Amino acid sequence: MEVTTRTQGDVTIAAIAGSLDSITSPQAQQALNAVVAQSGPKLAVDCSALDYISSAGLRVLLGLAKQMSAKGGSLRTFGLNQTVREVFEISGFSTIFRVFPGEQDALEGF
């Protein structure tokens, strides 16, 4: 699991690669907390290189969304592959998060 960041205009984009599960979620939590601390109010999570997500990974993203909300910001996700999308849909997270097919869609009207 790897987290990288970049900016596009006034939006911070955090890209998660690999698997986000019970083994990698503590590392991801730490990395994403640092991203939130340094980001502005707009954060997009790029899941295009995310191979797998477990309930532990979903908790990491939920905590991230709560942190962004607490600082008056918002969070969007994009690039979910079929497996990750199914986990989002089954868990109900597709109704909690704003999910977009691609980066351009996620950034429009942010």
pLDDT tens figures, 13-37: 999 999 999 999 999 999 999 999 9
Q: Alpha-carbon distance 78 to 100, whole Å?
A: 5
pLDDT at position 29 is 96
- Cβ–Cβ under 8 Å, residues 68 and 75: yes
Answer whether residue 106 shows pLDDT above 90: yes
Domains contained in the chain, CATH given:
2-100 (3.30.750.24)
Q: Which of 33, 104, 100, 108 is nearest to 71 (CA)?
A: 33
Percent of the chain with pLDDT over 70: 100
Q: In the structure encoding, which two tokens stand for residue 20, read together?
A: 């986000």
